[in-house]
Structure formats: C-alpha cells, structure tokens
Amino acid sequence: MVESREEVSNTRCPACRKIRDHYPSGELRLLGATPKEKREMLLMLRNEEERAREKNPLERIMRILADGTEWKIETTTEKLAQRLGRCLEKAFGGSVVYKWGHNNKFVRVIWQGATVKKKVA
C-alpha cells in the first residue's frame, strides 16, 4: 500500500469564484420586452448559455434580476454578455448598445425592444 503525505486542497474554477464573490464581467439589460417575449427570451438565453458553456465552461449566467419591465442578467465573461445581446437582436429585433468599462474588463450590453421610446444614457 502506498501512502501519500501530501495535503489535498479544494480549489474552485474561476467562474465559480466569480459567482461566489459576485464579481460579474458582463451585464445584459433588457428594456421594453413584452410579457410573452420575456418567457421566450429567458428560454433562448439559457439555451445560448448552454451552447457557450460547451465551448468554454467558464461562460455562465450568474443571475437574472427582474425589476418591473427591466431585466438585468449578470455573466461571468464579457464575451457571453455580448453573445446574448447579439442573439436577442437577431431573434427579437430592437437595438443593442455596448458600453465598455476601464481596460475592457467589463461590458454592459443594453437591448431595447422596438416599443421603448426613451434613450439609454
């Protein structure tokens, strides 16, 4: 029998640490979606996240917050937030705005449905 005296330590993957520490690298905001669209969007976003995770397991949706008619989706990577914004624009129309943070370490993607009249500041 072989015995090892080395200690084993548990480690978390970078995405799990971001989720634990609540440190998103991307944020997707949805403005002006109808109630019917919201259900379809949620299913589409989850499916797209699953496809992204097949290629890169670190790309995850951290959480989805709903506040009245506005949704905020936090992601572990900037690329996933961009990808989700492009998917929404392709499937539902509307417009997408990308706002980058310092050194491109954070992106805020804002999707506005065709029914939204206000401009994003």
Q: How far apart are CA 35 and CA 55, in angstroms?
A: 31
With cut-offs at 50, 70 and 90, classify the pLDDT of residue 97: very high
Q: How far apart are CA 81 and CA 52, in angstroms?
A: 11
At 13-61, the pLDDT tens digits run 888 889 899 999 999 999 988 888 888 999 999 999 999 999 999 999 9
pLDDT for the residue numbered 94: 92
Q: Does residue 66 lie within any of the structural domains?
A: yes
At 54-78, the pLDDT tens digits run 999 999 999 999 888 889 999 999 9
Give the SS3 label for residue 70.
Answer: strand
DSSP state of 71: E
At 101-113, the pLDDT tens digits run 888 889 999 999 8
Q: How far apart are CA 32 and CA 109, in angstroms?
A: 14
Tell whether pTM > 0.85: no
Domain of 86? 14-112
Q: Does residue 71 lie within any of the structural domains?
A: yes
User: Domains in the chain: how many in total?
Assistant: 1
Tell me the pairing of strands 107-112 and 26-31: parallel
Q: Does residue 41 lie within any of the structural domains?
A: yes
Q: Does residue 9 lie within any of the structural domains?
A: no
Burial class (CB in 10 A: 0-12, 13-18, 19+), 21: exposed
Q: Does residue 6 lie within any of the structural domains?
A: no
Q: Does residue 85 lie within any of the structural domains?
A: yes
With cut-offs at 50, 70 and 90, classify the pLDDT of residue 11: confident
